Chains A and B, each alone.
Chain A
Amino acid sequence: MYYQSEFDADYLASRNTQFRAQVERRIAGQLTEDEFKPLRLMNGLYLQLHAYMLRVAIPYGSLNSAQMTKLADVADRWDRGYGHFTTRQNIQFNWPALRDVPDILDALAEVGLHAIQTSGNTIRNITSDHFAGAAADEISDPRPVAELIRQWSTDHPEFQFLPRKFKVAVTGSPTDRAVTRAHDIGLRMIRRGSETGFEVIVGGGLGRTPMIGKVLREFVALPDLLDYLEAVISVYNLLGRRDNKYKARIKITLHETGEEALRAMVEARFAELRGTYPGSMDALSDIAARFRSPDLPPREHQIFTAAKAQDPVFRAWADTNLTTHKRADFAIVTVSLKAHGAVPGDATSAQMRLLADLARQFGQDELRISHEQNVILPHVALDDLPALHAALLPAGLATANVGLISDIIACPGMDYCALATARSIPVAQAIATRFEELQLEHDIGALKIKISGCINACGHHHVGHIGILGLDRGGVETYQITLGGDGTETTSLGERTGPGFAYDEIVPAIERLIAAYTAVRTNAQETFLATYRRLGMAPFKAALYDGDTSDAA
């Protein structure tokens, strides 16, 4: 686990002092809102529909129990007792008062957390595989590299005013749990002989113009990584369009410049920059030492096996919410923040405190936040799982639905967000509640529904097996459905089914889709996505529109 350096601590303290003075000047009327807005955004403070919102970065989704407890403290002392974990592995507090924000930032700095570069046209929070360091299928823990990139990109003087925001994701596993192909830069770890390096995918992104990233370079050796990243972003910094914010992301730069031409420019720049960071490998080995895998004592599994045999509730949870750990006597636990009818990604302060306690007690003090808005305990001994499950149960944290229809990603939508064109949260709640009533979700099997409340696609709807996009059509909330999206290593973008559905029609529409799927799948093992890929749109379109209950909006 990474511990912040003195440099980080000093830097955070000076930034917070600076921001405190800026808040005071704004309140005293010495700064106008136009002057203050870019300053507050540099510190992660947005003004949303009903209140300010503070977005705190959780670098590569990793937290220790002290940090999780601090998030709970912030929620209790300065907010309304809860926080919202986002698809960017951040947490958002929805109700801070302006005057309190400097105190909140100071409190967060005590545990090395901050809100720097969670907004603005900068390199944002570096995201990663939420099973990093624990997954059986990974080449190596990607987080030391993610941390190296975080240090390089934080306050990078050349990249504070990019044409647009810039998102980097890193994975160390061939199984892509970090949606690397939908990031401005996605890094996939590769081993060539004895050498470790990265495939560099550039120009992916969702939003109004969804694109799957292109492999700009098949292999960059680790010692060259920062030089190569600097080359990509400096070329983008010059080429990227500043005349039109909708065409300013690197995906458009790549599209307009052409893959070959952009690659040549980056290579030329890389040749100039090579050797800019001679100390990066030393820095990386220092960082890696701090991410050393926890010493996991050998454990048995009789208690686990017995509990699975005796307790059907535990068995259902274990079957759904556990992932194979690199050690056979341990498991990766995904704690669902998607209890049926709950707000996806919301956790109360009491839930955060409990998760922190359980991480200390059973989980080597480690927690992860996934882009799918769940919390992960990456290292739990099999024999500790029954006790862990028993502790999660009364807190509403033992829902056995990970990867199922009710494990929905939803952006805050128009319940909070000033950019939203429709609500997302109640749609997610209604779908989860409906399929819980039907008792069908285990029969339906693996299915990812992702909901965005506007075309900016924070809810990743383009890569949902079923994507739902909420729009304002003539003053009425309207929901478009896409099918066949996939955010893993077999990335694909969903295709629109046709006309949208009104708010009260969207849940029945999803129900018809699912009925069509279960009717046409070859067997219970054929997933929704596989069925869609085999049969295409036709049977689903028929289910959605032929019954004549659709709205031609």
Chain B
Amino acid sequence: MARKAYAQVVTGNALLEGHVVYLTAQGTWSTALTDAEILRDEADAQLRLLSAMAQAATVVGAYLADVDPDAASPKPLHFREAFRRDGPGHYVYPAGRI
């Protein structure tokens, strides 16, 4: 059996806002999953994660999340990651609305 293709992104929450963020290829953080760098090598992914974890003043709880290895743009494999990307499904309240 062929080895399963490897594809992950580094994600976490921004320290100040708490928002979901993803590590880009430039080493910056973006709130858009589409900006995330897809890591296709496990050892490389571990190194990127370590460097992310070292940025404790920027990001909290960094970890590696699986994405679809066959998709060109990062696509979550698990529904939890899809919800993290999308935000609360019902969210409709503009401030002050009854």
Binding site for B on A (CB under 8 A): 26-29, 32-33, 47-52, 75-76, 80-82, 94-99, 343, 346, 348-351, 354, 394-396, 414-416, 423, 425-426, 429, 472, 475-477
Residue in B15, B89, B95 whose CB lies within 8 Å of A98: B15
Bound-state CA distance A99–B18 (Å) is: 11
Binding site for A on B (CB under 8 A): 13, 15-20, 56-57, 60-61, 77-80, 83-84, 87-91, 93-98
Closest to A342 in B: B90
Contact B15 A27 (CB under 8 A): yes
Q: With A47-B60, A396-B98 in contact, is A415–B89 under 8 Å at CB? A: yes
Contact A415 B83 (CB under 8 A): yes
Contact B97 A350 (CB under 8 A): yes
Contact A50 B94 (CB under 8 A): no
Contact A415 B90 (CB under 8 A): yes
Residue in B17, B83, B88 whose CB lies within 8 Å of A97: B17
Q: With A81-B94, A354-B98, A416-B88 in contact, is A98–B56 under 8 Å at CB? A: no
Name the distance in Å between A520's Cβ and chain B's nearest Cβ: 34
Closest to B59 in A: A33
Bound-state CA distance A481–B41 (Å) is: 42
- 9 of the cross-chain contacts (CB-CB < 8 Å) are A49-B83, A51-B13, A52-B18, A76-B95, A97-B17, A98-B15, A348-B98, A414-B79, A423-B89
Contact A429 B93 (CB under 8 A): no
B94 to chain A: which residues have CB within 8 Å? 81
Contact A349 B18 (CB under 8 A): no
Name the distance in Å between A421's Cβ and chain B's nearest Cβ: 8
Contact B17 A51 (CB under 8 A): yes
Kindly list 19 other residue pairs between chains A and B, CB separation below 8 angstroms, not including A47-B13, A415-B89, A426-B89.
Answer: A28-B57, A51-B17, A80-B93, A81-B97, A82-B93, A96-B18, A99-B16, A346-B93, A348-B93, A349-B95, A350-B96, A394-B98, A396-B98, A415-B83, A415-B91, A423-B83, A425-B89, A475-B78, A475-B79
A97 to chain B: which residues have CB within 8 Å? 16-18
Contact A50 B98 (CB under 8 A): no
Q: With A81-B95, A425-B90, A475-B78 in contact, is A29–B56 under 8 Å at CB? A: yes
Q: With A29-B57, A414-B80, A423-B89 in contact, is A50–B97 under 8 Å at CB? A: no
Residue in B16, B57, B79, B88 whose CB lies within 8 Å of A50: B88
B97 to chain A: which residues have CB within 8 Å? 81, 348, 350
Bound-state CA distance A252–B13 (Å) is: 35
Contact A49 B79 (CB under 8 A): no
B88 to chain A: which residues have CB within 8 Å? 50, 94, 415-416, 425
Bound-state CA distance A472–B82 (Å) is: 14
A350 to chain B: which residues have CB within 8 Å? 96-98
Bound-state CA distance A476–B82 (Å) is: 12
A99 to chain B: which residues have CB within 8 Å? 16
Bound-state CA distance A96–B16 (Å) is: 9
The 8 closest A-B pairs by CB, nearest first: A81-B95, A51-B18, A415-B88, A52-B18, A350-B98, A29-B57, A395-B98, A82-B93
A94 to chain B: which residues have CB within 8 Å? 88
Bound-state CA distance A354–B96 (Å) is: 11
Bound-state CA distance A33–B96 (Å) is: 34
Bound-state CA distance A363–B61 (Å) is: 46
Q: Do most interface residues of chain A lie in helix, strand or loop, or is the interface mixed?
A: mixed
Contact A81 B96 (CB under 8 A): yes
Closest to B77 in A: A475
Bound-state CA distance A75–B13 (Å) is: 22
Contact A50 B95 (CB under 8 A): no
Residue in B78, B79, B90, B96 whose CB lies within 8 Å of A76: B96
Contact B84 A50 (CB under 8 A): yes
B57 to chain A: which residues have CB within 8 Å? 27-29
Q: With A33-B60, A81-B95, A354-B98 in contact, is A50–B18 under 8 Å at CB? A: yes
Closest to A415 in B: B88
B78 to chain A: which residues have CB within 8 Å? 475
Contact A80 B90 (CB under 8 A): no
Contact A50 B87 (CB under 8 A): yes
B61 to chain A: which residues have CB within 8 Å? 33, 47
Closest to A45 in B: B18
Residue in A80, A396, A477 whose CB lies within 8 Å of B79: A477
Contact B20 A49 (CB under 8 A): yes
Contact B98 A48 (CB under 8 A): no
Name the distance in Å between A175's Cβ and chain B's nearest Cβ: 33
B80 to chain A: which residues have CB within 8 Å? 49, 414, 472
Bound-state CA distance A414–B80 (Å) is: 7
Contact B96 A50 (CB under 8 A): no
Residue in A51, A396, A426 whose CB lies within 8 Å of B90: A426
Residue in A33, A47, A348, A414 whose CB lies within 8 Å of B18: A47
Contact B90 A49 (CB under 8 A): no
Contact A429 B90 (CB under 8 A): yes
Name the distance in Å between B25's Cβ and chain A's nearest Cβ: 24
Contact B60 A348 (CB under 8 A): no
Name the distance in Å between A410's Cβ and chain B's nearest Cβ: 11
A50 to chain B: which residues have CB within 8 Å? 18-20, 84, 87-88
Which of B13, B17, B18, B96 lies at the interface centre, i.e. has the most chain A CB atoms within 10 A of its CB?
A: B18
Contact A51 B19 (CB under 8 A): yes
Name the distance in Å between A33's Cβ and chain B's nearest Cβ: 5
Bound-state CA distance A52–B78 (Å) is: 22
Contact A414 B56 (CB under 8 A): no
Bound-state CA distance A82–B56 (Å) is: 30
A423 to chain B: which residues have CB within 8 Å? 83, 89
Bound-state CA distance A395–B97 (Å) is: 9
A48 to chain B: which residues have CB within 8 Å? 18
Closest to A53 in B: B18
